[in-house]
Chains A and B, each alone.
Chain A
Amino acid sequence: MHELSIAASIVELATEEAEKRHIEVVAIHLKLGALSGVVREALEGSYELVAAGTPLQLAALVIHEIPAVIYCPACHEPRELPSIQAFLCPVCGGPPGEVLQGRDLQVTALEVVS
């Protein structure tokens, strides 16, 4: 359950930004990669717990799931993996090159009122 630590970091990050910019946060947008090691449902539950009693209590956590994308050296194309249990090109079946996307765990934006 490291989602509790992750949720605490998200709340801390958003709170710092809100104080710095003198804004009120109404929603937090988060990119969550398939390879981030974070479980969406656990994170949502943890966020509610951590945000309670803070200025972010009413702010929504909006999660954008990011699939894993590898570069296929045989196809010379980026390929989205349907499952992270099989690191193979879903088109040609060949071994993957670099992971291009999917490790994301990033607060991309805040919805705010000033």
Chain B
Amino acid sequence: MTSPRIVEIRQNVLRKNDLEARQLRAEFQAAGTFVVSLVSSPGSGKTRFLEATLGPLRAQHRVAALVGDLATENDAMRLARSGASVRQIVTGTVCHLDAQMVRRALEGFTPDPLDYLFIENVGNLVCPAAYDLGEALRVVLLSVTEGEDKPLKYPTIFNGADLAIITKSDLADAVEFDRAAAYANLRAVQPALGILEVSAKTGYGMDAWFELLAARSADAIRPASADPEAPSAALRESLTAPGRPDESSGR
């Protein structure tokens, strides 16, 4: 037997996912669809937050959602009550969504191009971090009922997010949520991270979320046009996390 020799191949393990995600991102951009993915641990209120998002957005925009879960179609049924098109992706034993699952879920999904597509990932703060889904905005949710140190326990996913949303803010006092500690921990893993606080139940913070969506989608979809409906540059500035303009075209 000959002695082993080295063959250099330099192949990214996730190359198929990354290629599919790049293609999806290009197609979304061409269609004028702003794609937002939501990641969080189970029970942080992703579905409730999405319900509170889809309803009002639907009044003026074409919106739809894909919802990932290990089992059951309960979340899709809940979200469909908003009137938006919703499709469940049941992943079975797989703990995250990947770009191919998004591609398959989109086949024959909506006849018309969308303004906004939301992708709710499987509740998990570890596995989804590695998979690009072709989204324009990756949002990580942290509820006030979780530990303020979650960002330090799962730094990769908080570091890779474009925005952090603190949910269930109506419960903050009841659970003695340490706001300063939560912000410090979020910023420890990503100093320029934009942070919003919301309550899907009371509506607190939802206006800021809708303004941010409008500003970010205007930047992403119509970068150079002077759209009279788009928020002013000053508003965009105030809502956009500083320091990461170079990453706005995707990770």
Contacts and interface: CB of A to CB of B under 8 A. Distances in A.
A13 B155 CA distance: 28
Contacts of A21: 7
B12 A84 contact: no
Nearest to B154: A37
Given A37-B126, A112-B7, A106 B13 contact: yes
A27 B12 CA distance: 17
B158 to A, nearest CB: 10
Contacts, number: 104
Interface in B1-21: 1-16
Interface in B31-85: none
A7 B180 CA distance: 39
Contacts of B13: 6, 9-10, 13, 30, 105-107
A90 B98 CA distance: 34
B10 A36 contact: no
A13 B159 contact: no
A30 B5 CA distance: 16
B2 A114 contact: yes
Majority secondary structure of chain A interface residues (helix, strand, loop or mixed)? mixed
B156 to A, nearest CB: 4
B230 interface: no
A88 B2 CA distance: 49
A30 B188 CA distance: 29
Interface in A1-38: 1-2, 5-6, 9-10, 13, 17, 21, 23, 26-27, 30, 35-38
B159 A87 contact: yes
A55 interface: no
Given A110-B9, A111-B6, A85 B152 contact: yes
Residue with the greatest number of chain A CB neighbours at <10 A, chosen from B129, B156, B157, B243: B156
A84 B154 CA distance: 10
B4 A37 contact: no
10 contacts: A1-B127, A2-B131, A21-B7, A35-B159, A37-B129, A37-B156, A86-B189, A98-B246, A106-B11, A112-B6
- Minimum-distance CB pairs A-B, first 8: A2-B127, A37-B129, A95-B191, A37-B130, A111-B4, A37-B156, A84-B155, A105-B13
Given A5-B96, A37-B129, A110-B7, 19 more contacts: A2-B95, A2-B96, A6-B13, A21-B7, A26-B4, A35-B160, A37-B130, A38-B130, A84-B156, A85-B189, A87-B189, A88-B191, A105-B12, A108-B10, A109-B10, A112-B4, A112-B5, A113-B4, A113-B5
